[in-house]
């Protein structure tokens, strides 16, 4: 059985802990690989390697860094199908969805290729007599990323391209459930000419995570995952004097007004709720139907949901693949069961679904729940699966109050033909990313990604300008070159004159 190892100092490094985790093919349910879990000493070795590499990489020219990133971008583009296949094999998402993930990661690589524009400083001349002031940004040193299973290539690429472009060295702890894509990225970085030690991977579990959070030579930590873990990451990192950005979970609402194109809204609800089997922090998990739209909209969504093709991700006919593990599938199914007990109506029941020839795979069908009480677990919790809840609201004001009462504030969307209502919504809704007739408003690479409330812990969002700010620290330099005619002693407090 193949073992996924660490990547330290520009090469694979075998694990020594004797502890391994299984890597499954979710479509078959079979364990096809194993992953070596890191010891504290192995994490320390990766950090030490990154620290040593920073001495030269942090002083390297922007021209050298961007040349390597341009080559990496070229290699990534050439190998996108291969990386997508690795994602499908270990995560389960369909190939087209995996390709989309690689493409969105590629956007951030392209942003990093232009990092010289983002790192231009500021200069004010003659702020006082013959005094100039300049501001610059410099790298932090060794930074770490802890990434989730649902986007094993894209989320790491939200982090490391900008981190290394700004002069830092990087240690990645990817999800132990689907580690191969990030390992392949490491190989491509090496092929692009990235110096040994600038990018490292430690595989593992909580042992590796905690050591990265505690290590005195790690200056900053980026995290994407669930809200409880994001809270833990923030508290632990701050306790050890680290800069932290930790993106948590979500319960994204899609508001549908009576004037909306209901066929279009139904299509988009299907795409946003069931794409990638709902394993997206930007998935729409609640549709808020306003006024008399509910019955008609639910009927249209149900008609579409019943016709979705579910199967292995490597089957071109499949529109949705399996969930990541058997345990997660069963947990998702339990929300559908409990929703009935808690007052919801099950319009489409996806529990108990199986795929012929893949009966041991981690498959589940799509579920549609209507008239879901806000007290139901299916409404309150982040399910992270293909379950769409519909709630009813009499008015726009009722709907916005409902959405803003959520503990999360990651993404949200409104579907309407009314420009005034859309403008009001984007200003009033309490969420970090807003779509107007766009159900999954993930920003392009040069705008930053991040939510509000329990969806973000830390001050800065990820990638874009916030990403550059996160991986750098500002410095202000005040300079005076006295005129040869100047001289004498003056003990008075200097003033701007």
Residue 439 structure tokens: 């159900």
- Is 281 an annotated catalytic residue? yes
- The HSE-up count of residue 325 (CA atoms within 13 Å, CB side) is 12
DSSP-assigned beta bridge partners for residue 143: 170, 220
The rounded distance, in Å, linking the Cα atoms of 242 and 467 is 16
Of 225, 20, 183, 200, give the one whose Cα is nearest residue 87. 183
SS3 state of residue 306: coil
The rounded distance, in Å, linking the Cα atoms of 226 and 247 is 8
DSSP-assigned beta bridge partners for residue 306: none
Q: Which of 281, 283, 298, 429 is catalytic?
A: 281
The rounded distance, in Å, linking the Cα atoms of 340 and 276 is 25
The rounded distance, in Å, linking the Cα atoms of 342 and 377 is 8
Q: Following DSSP, what letter does each residue of 164-222 receive, concatenated? A: HHTT-EEEEE--SSS-HHHHHHHHHHHHTTPPTTSEEE---SHHHHHHHHH-TTEEEEE
Residue linked to tokens 């007052």: 343
DSSP at 494: P
Phi, psi (rounded to 5 degrees) for 428: -90, -25
Inter-helix orientation angle 396-404/419-428, to 10°:
30
Pairing of strands 11-13, 6-8: antiparallel
Of 388, 386, 140, 331, give the one whose Cα is nearest residue 242. 140
Task: Point out the residues that are catalytic.
Answer: 281
């Amino acid at each position: 059985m193949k073992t996924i190892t660490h990547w330290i100092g520009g090469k694979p490094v075998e694990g020594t802990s004797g502890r391994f985790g299984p890597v499954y093919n979710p479509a078959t349910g079979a364990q096809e690989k194993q992953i070596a879990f890191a010891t504290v000493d192995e994490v320390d070795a990766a950090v030490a390697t990154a620290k040593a590499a920073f001495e030269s990489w942090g002083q390297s020219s922007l021209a050298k860094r961007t040349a390597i990133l341009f080559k990496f971008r070229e290699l990534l583009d050439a190998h996108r199908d291969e990386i997508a296949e690795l994602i499908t094999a270990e995560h389960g998402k369909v190939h087209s969805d995996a390709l989309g993930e690689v493409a969105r990661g590629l956007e951030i690589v392209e942003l990093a290729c232009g990092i010289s524009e983002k790192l231009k400083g500021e200069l004010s001349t003659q702020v006082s007599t013959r005094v100039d002031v300049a501001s610059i940004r410099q790298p932090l040193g060794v930074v770490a990323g802890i990434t989730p299973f649902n986007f094993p290539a894209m989320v790491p690429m939200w982090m490391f391209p900008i981190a290394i472009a700004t002069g830092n060295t990087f240690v990645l702890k990817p999800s132990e459930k689907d580690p191969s894509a990030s390992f392949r990225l490491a190989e491509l970085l090496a092929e692009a000419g990235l110096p040994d030690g600038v990018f490292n991977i430690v595989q593992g579990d909580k042992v590796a995570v905690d050591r990265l959070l505690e290590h005195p030579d790690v200056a900053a930590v980026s995290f994407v995952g669930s809200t409880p873990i994001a809270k833990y990451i923030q508290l632990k990192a701050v306790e050890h004097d680290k800069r932290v950005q930790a993106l948590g979970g979500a319960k994204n609402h899609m508001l549908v007004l009576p004037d909306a194109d209901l066929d279009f809204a139904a299509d988009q609800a299907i795409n946003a709720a069931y794409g990638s089997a709902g394993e997206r922090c930007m998935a729409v998990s609640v549709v808020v139907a306003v006024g008399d739209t509910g019955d008609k909209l639910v009927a249209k969504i149900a008609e579409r949901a019943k016709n979705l093709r579910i199967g292995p991700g490597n089957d071109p006919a499949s529109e949705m693949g399996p969930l990541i593990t058997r345990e997660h599938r069963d947990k998702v199914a339990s929300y559908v069961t409990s929703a009935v007990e808690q007052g919801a109506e099950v319009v489409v029941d996806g529990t108990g679904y199986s795929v012929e020839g893949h009966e041991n795979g981690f498959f589940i069908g799509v579920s549609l729940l209507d008239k879901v009480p806000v007290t139901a677990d299916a409404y309150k919790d982040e399910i992270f699966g293909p379950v769409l809840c519909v709630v009813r609201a009499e008015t726009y004001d009722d709907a916005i109050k409902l959405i803003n009462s959520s503990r999360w504030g990651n993404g949200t969307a409104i579907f309407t033909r009314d420009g005034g209502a859309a403008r009001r919504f984007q200003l009033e809704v309490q969420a970090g990313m807003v779509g107007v007739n766009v159900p999954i408003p993930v920003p392009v690479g040069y705008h930053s990604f991040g939510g509000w409330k329990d969806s973000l812990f830390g001050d800065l969002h990820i990638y874009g300008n916030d990403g550059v700010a996160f991986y750098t620290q500002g410095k202000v330099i005040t300079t005076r070159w006295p005129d040869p005619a100047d001289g004498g002693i003056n003990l008075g407090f200097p003033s701007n004159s």
